[in-house]
Amino acid sequence: MTLSEKQAAAPQFWRDEALPFVEARSVQDCRKVCYAKHAHDTFSIGAITTGRSTYLNGTVQERVGAGVVVVINPEDVHACNPIDDQRWSYVMFFVDVPWLIDLQHELGLSQGHRFRAFSTTMTTRPDLYAGLRHLYAILTDAHADPLQKHSATLAFFSNVQFALHQAPALAGSPNAKLVRAEEYIREHFRRSLKLDEISAAAELSASYLIRAFKERYGMTPHAYLVNRRIEYSRSELRRGRAIADVAIDAGFSDQAHLQRAFRQFMAVTPRQYRG
């Protein structure tokens, strides 16, 4: 791979202390960028800007091309990957759920303060595609002031709320014991956890937990644990902490362990992500 090809394949991250609830990422050439199945605790929405790729979201798997906007609810297991050696590129936004909940509430689109999930996993609406690319251009414009960036962000995500059909509230409550297992992992992910420990906390057999947890959350308990560590590492790396310190603090055995997991889940190294 030439130097120019390496530069095109390197992800670009945008963050701004004035808008801490949103993060953007773009890659110009994703032919060599591969993602394992993963999930985020943020809401994600992005657009394929050139070429075509595979797109997995839960049980939905499609080939998508330029003009498609992908919509990923928090904790939905997903992945986008190249088709053969075809060049493709994308822009993606990651939005903190509490901010989006407040926006939905202000727009009268949710009851109480719970995130109302989107029912669609992708759309070809030209207005959303153009709006997403326009927002990215404003946010990455060094000459745009904070008010302009904040206003554009609110305008775009308000349009997203009204443009896309949202899923109705789910009837009934989820399996309380599985929720207990998820919460236990979330609370204790920074230390070594054993399957028996999680099973005991949830009052479930280990065999049932493995089957039911993956069915509900799209990942095994172990994959969910690693995913939580990656999400924590992302936030700590954004603060500028040393990679080795973040690795130990997040529960990884060492920096190399974090490096392998981070590349698998994020398709970049911790150093590339931190910038």
- What is the percent of the chain with per-residue pLDDT over 70, rounded to a whole number? 93
pLDDT-derived band at 272, boundaries 50, 70, 90: very high
Residues 97 and 103: their CA atoms lie apart, in Å, by 10
Q: Which residues contact 239 (CB under 8 A, 6 or more apart)?
A: none
Instruction: Note the pLDDT of residue 7.
Output: 59
Condensed to tens digits (0 to 9), the pLDDT of residues 39-58 reads 999 999 999 999 999 999 99
Classify residue 117 as exposed, middle or buried by CB count within 10 Å of its CB (0-12, 13-18, 19+): middle
Alpha helices in 47-202 (DSSP H): 97-106, 126-139, 146-163, 176-188, 195-202
Please state whether 84 falls in left (phi above 0), alpha (psi between -120 and 50) or beta: left
Residues 214 and 217: their CA atoms lie apart, in Å, by 5
Q: Please answer whether residues 120 and 68 qualify as being in contact, where contact means their C-beta atoms are separated by less than 8 angstroms.
A: no
Check: pTM over 0.85? Answer yes or no: no
Instruction: Note the pLDDT of residue 216.
Output: 87
Mean pLDDT of the 241-263 span? 95
Q: 123 has which bridge partners? A: 69
Same fold, 3-163 and 176-274: no
Residues 192 and 166: their CA atoms lie apart, in Å, by 38
Please state whether 141 falls in left (phi above 0), alpha (psi between -120 and 50) or beta: beta
Q: What is the CATH number of domain 176-274?
A: 1.10.10.60
Domain layout of the chain by residue ranges: 3-163, 176-274
Cβ count near 32 (within 10 Å): 14
Mean pLDDT of the 166-193 span? 76
Angle between helices 176-188 and 195-202 (to 10 degrees): 130
Q: Please answer whether residues 34 and 85 qualify as being in contact, where contact means their C-beta atoms are separated by less than 8 angstroms.
A: no
Condensed to tens digits (0 to 9), the pLDDT of residues 101-133 reads 998 888 888 777 789 899 899 999 999 999 999
Per-residue DSSP letters for 62-101?
EEEETT-EEEE-TT--EEEEE-TT---EEEEEEE-HHHHH
> Which pair of structure tokens corresponds to residue 184?
């236990």
Q: Which residue has the tokens 């994600």?
A: 44
Mean pLDDT of the 200-222 span? 88
Mean pLDDT of the 181-192 span? 94
Condensed to tens digits (0 to 9), the pLDDT of residues 129-154 reads 999 999 999 999 999 989 999 999 99
First and final CA of the chain: distance in angstroms? 21
Determine the topology of domain 3-163 in CATH. Jelly Rolls (2.60.120)
Residue type at 236 in one-letter notation: E
